[in-house]
Structure formats: C-alpha cells, structure tokens
Amino acid sequence: MARDRLTFRQRDLRAAAKAVKQAGVQVARYEVTKDGTIVIIPGEPIPVAETADPDTDTETLAIREAFRNAKI
C-alpha cells in the first residue's frame, strides 16, 4: 500500500518549536494533522515517571503501536 504524500516537513515542526521556545511558552505537546497543520498545545509538559521503563511500560508500548498503525 502506497503512502500519501507528506504535507509537512520536519523542518517546519522544528521552526515552529523554535519560535514557541523563543516566545517563552511551555508546550504540553505538538500535533500534526493530516493536512499538514501544526497545532501547538501550550501548558505544562506531561512529566514522565522516573520509574517508567519505555520498553515495558504498557502505555508507552500502546502509543508506539498506534504510531506504527497510523495511516497518515
């Protein structure tokens, strides 16, 4: 199955992240929609549990699996 053409580039996201950082805004997360729109969600970053092991944490593994199966 062929992938759709990408509508944004990694450098676009880097530029947006740099601009937000220069503005002094904390970012909770970034989202990129299928049409290439970059959405920046301001707020406190979600803390990562120090005890969480990314190779065995079920939430992390579920997120990885969702990204693998995403059709973007």
What residue spans define the domains of the chain?
Answer: 10-69
pTM above 0.75, yes or no: no
Position with higher pLDDT, 48 vs 68:
68
The answer to whether residues 21 and 40 touch, using CB atoms and an 8 Å cutoff, is no
- Amino acid occupying residue 27: V
The answer to whether residues 32 and 38 touch, using CB atoms and an 8 Å cutoff, is yes
pLDDT digits (tens, 9 = 90+) for 9-63: 888 888 988 998 899 988 888 888 888 888 988 888 766 655 556 566 677 777 7
Tally of CA atoms within 13 A in the half-sphere of 63 that contains its CB:
7
Whose tokens are 């707020």? That residue is 43
